[in-house]
C-alpha cells in the first residue's frame, strides 16, 4: 500500500517532548516543559468529585456550560470592562491549542497569509499550513524582543488574512504595551484582517503592570479571536480546558469547526471551574504576586551564576543569556547543560523559522521552591 504523502513532512517530536524525554533519561531537574509541579486550589480539585456525584457526566453543550460562559463574561467585565454575551460570544474549548486551531481553521483559506512573530509557539504554523495558508514570519530579536511595527506594515499584503499575537509572550516572557496595541489598531484600520490574540498567561504579569488584553481595545476586539487557558490560571494544565472570545459573526464560524473537532469539553471539569470562579474571583488577582515571588526567587538564586538575566515581564518563563559561558548553538548548549549540570531547559531556535541563534535559553519557574533552589545551585556551578 502506498500511504498518502505527509501534510506536515518536516514536523516531528516537539522540543518540549524531546527535552522532557532527555530529562527523564538523565534524571535531570526538568525546567523545560511549561507546567507546574504543584496542584491547583484544593477547593477546585475537590469540586470535581462533587460535580460527578451530582450527575454532571453527560455531554456539555457544544459551546460550553452556560454557567462557565457566564463566569468568564463576568471575569472579563471585571478585569477589562468589556461586556460580552455569554450565549453568543464565548466558547469553551479542549485547551487553548484547540481554540487556536479552530479559530485559524474558521477563517484562513487556501492561499492566504498569516503573520506570526518568532519565536512563535509551535502550534501556530502547523495549523496555518494544514489550512492551505502560508505563515509570514517576523523575527523578534534580543535583547528586547520587541515588535517592529514598520516591519509588520511592510509584511501586510492583499493576501494577509490573519495576524497572531501572543502576550504575555511564550517563550520570551515579554508583554505588549498600550502603545504597541494602538499601533496595531492603526495598521488594521480599514482592512479585513482578523486578529488572533493568544493570551493564555493573561493573569501572570509582573512589577505592577497590567495585562493589555485585546478586550480593552474595542476596535481590535471587533475583529479578534481572544484565547485563554484555565490550565495556566489554576495550575491544572492536564485538564486541557481553555476558551475563546469573539464577536458573534466570528464565533459562529469558529463553532462550526469546534463542533466537529472536539464537539464539547469535559462536563464535570467545566462545572467545577465555573463554581470556583464564582466563589473565588480573587484567585486571578493574586496570581501575579504568586508567580513574581517564584521569578524573583529563581533570579536571586542565580545572581552568582555566569548567566545574564533580565527579569521576565510576564508568563512563568525566564530567559537566561549564556554567551559568557559558551558559544555553542542553543540546542547543543541545553543538551550539554542537561548532561553535565542535570538541568533541562528549552532553546529558542526551534521557535524561529530559520533557527535563529540568540544566545538565550528558557527556564520554567512554575515549580516549588526546593526544585528552583536545587536547579539554581547546579546552574551556579557552571
pLDDT of the residue at 110:
98
State yes or no: pLDDT of 13 exceeds 80: no
Asked if residue 198 lies in contact with residue 96, where contact means CB atoms within 8 angstroms, the answer is yes
CATH number of 42-281: 3.40.640.10
State how far the Cα of 78 lies from the Cα of 72, in Å rounded to an integer. 10
| pLDDT tens profile 76-99 | 999 999 999 999 999 999 999 999
Number of residues assigned to the chain: 382
Q: Which of 304, 138, 159, 162 is nearest to 225 (CA)?
A: 162
* Neighbouring residues of 209: CB distance < 8 A, sequence distance ≥ 6: 175, 313, 314
What is the edge-to-edge ordering of all strands in the sheet holding 242-245? Answer: 90-93, 242-245, 224-229, 194-198, 160-166, 113-118, 134-139
Q: How confident is the model at residue 17 (pLDDT cuts 50, 70, 90)?
A: confident
State yes or no: pLDDT of 26 exceeds 90: no
pTM for this entry = 0.97
Sorted by where each begins, the domain ranges of the chain are: 15-40+283-379, 42-281
The sign of the torsion formed by the CA atoms of 257, 262, 267, 272 equals: negative
| pLDDT tens profile 211-265 | 999 999 999 999 999 999 999 999 999 999 999 999 999 999 999 999 999 999 9
Mean pLDDT, residues 95-119 taken together: 98
pLDDT of the residue at 190:
93
State yes or no: pLDDT of 56 exceeds 80: yes
Q: How confident is the model at residue 200 (pLDDT cuts 50, 70, 90)?
A: very high
Mean of all residue pLDDT scores within the chain: 96
Three-state secondary structure of 326-365: CCCCHHHHHHHHHHHHCEECEECHHHCCCCCCCCEEEEEC
Mean pLDDT, residues 113-126 taken together: 97
Third-level CATH fold of 15-40+283-379? 3.90.1150
Mean pLDDT, residues 329-333 taken together: 96
Q: How confident is the model at residue 366 (pLDDT cuts 50, 70, 90)?
A: very high
User: Among residues of the chain, what percentage have pLDDT more than 70?
Assistant: 100
- Judged by average pLDDT, the poorest of 18-32, 299-313, 360-374 is 18-32
- Taking every pair of Cα atoms in the chain, the longest distance, rounded to a whole number of angstroms, is 61
pLDDT of the residue at 100:
98
Domain 15-40+283-379 and domain 42-281, same fold? Reply is no
pLDDT of the residue at 314:
98
Asked if residue 319 lies in contact with residue 362, where contact means CB atoms within 8 angstroms, the answer is yes
Mean pLDDT, residues 348-377 taken together: 97
* 375-377-380-382 Cα dihedral, nearest 10 degrees: -70
Amino acid at each position: 500500500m502506498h500511504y498518502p504523502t505527509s501534510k506536515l513532512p518536516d514536523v516531528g517530536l516537539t522540543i518540549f517532548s524531546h527535552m522532557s524525554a532527555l530529562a527523564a533519561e538523565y534524571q535531570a531537574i526538568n525546567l523545560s516543559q511549561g507546567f507546574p509541579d504543584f496542584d491547583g486550589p484544593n477547593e477546585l480539585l475537590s469540586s470535581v468529585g462533587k460535580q460527578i456525584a451530582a450527575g454532571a457526566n453527560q455531554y456539555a453543550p457544544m459551546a460550553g456550560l452556560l454557567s462557565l460562559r457566564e463566569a468568564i463574561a463576568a471575569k472579563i467585565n471585571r478585569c477589562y470592562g468589556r461586556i460580552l454575551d455569554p450565549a453568543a460570544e464565548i466558547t469553551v474549548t479542549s485547551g487553548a491549542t484547540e481554540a487556536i486551531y479552530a479559530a485559524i481553521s474558521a477563517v484562513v483559506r487556501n492561499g492566504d497569509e498569516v503573520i506570526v512573530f518568532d519565536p512563535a509557539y509551535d502550534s501556530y504554523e502547523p495549523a496555518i499550513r494544514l489550512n492551505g495558508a502560508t505563515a509570514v514570519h517576523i523575527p523578534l530579536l534580543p535583547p528586547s524582543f520587541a515588535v517592529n511595527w514598520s516591519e509588520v506594515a511592510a509584511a501586510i499584503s492583499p493576501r494577509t488574512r490573519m495576524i497572531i499575537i501572543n502576550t504575555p509572550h511564550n517563550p520570551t516572557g515579554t508583554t505588549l504595551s498600550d502603545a504597541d496595541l494602538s499601533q496595531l489598531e492603526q495598521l488594521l484600520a480599514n482592512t479585513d484582517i482578523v486578529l488572533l490574540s493568544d493570551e493564555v498567561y493573561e493573569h501572570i504579569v509582573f512589577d505592577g503592570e497590567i495585562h493589555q488584553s485585546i478586550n480593552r481595545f474595542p476596535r481590535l476586539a471587533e475583529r479578534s479571536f481572544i484565547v485563554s487557558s484555565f490550565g495556566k490560571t489554576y495550575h491544572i494544565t492536564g485538564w486541557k480546558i481553555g476558551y475563546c472570545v469573539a464577536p458573534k459573526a466570528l464565533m459562529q464560524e469558529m463553532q462550526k469547526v469546534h463542533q466537529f473537532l472536539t464537539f464539547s469539553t469535559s462536563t464535570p471539569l467545566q462545572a467545577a471551574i465555573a463554581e470556583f470562579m464564582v466563589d473565588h474571583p480573587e484567585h486571578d488577582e493574586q496570581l501575579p504576586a504568586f508567580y513574581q515571588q517564584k521569578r524573583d526567587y529563581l533570579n536571586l538564586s542565580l545572581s552568582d551564576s555566569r548567566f545574564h538575566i533580565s527579569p521576565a515581564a510576564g508568563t512563568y518563563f525566564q530567559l537566561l543569556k549564556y554567551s559568557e559561558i559558551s558559544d555553542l548553538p542553543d540546542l547543543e548548549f541545553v543538551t550539554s547543560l542537561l548532561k553535565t549540570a542535570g538541568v533541562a531547559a528549552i532553546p529558542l531556535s526551534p521557535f524561529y523559522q530559520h533557527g535563529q541563534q540568540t544566545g538565550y535559553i528558557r527556564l520554567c519557574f512554575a515549580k516549588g521552591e526546593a526544585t528552583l533552589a536545587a536547579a539554581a545551585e547546579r546552574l551556579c556551578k557552571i
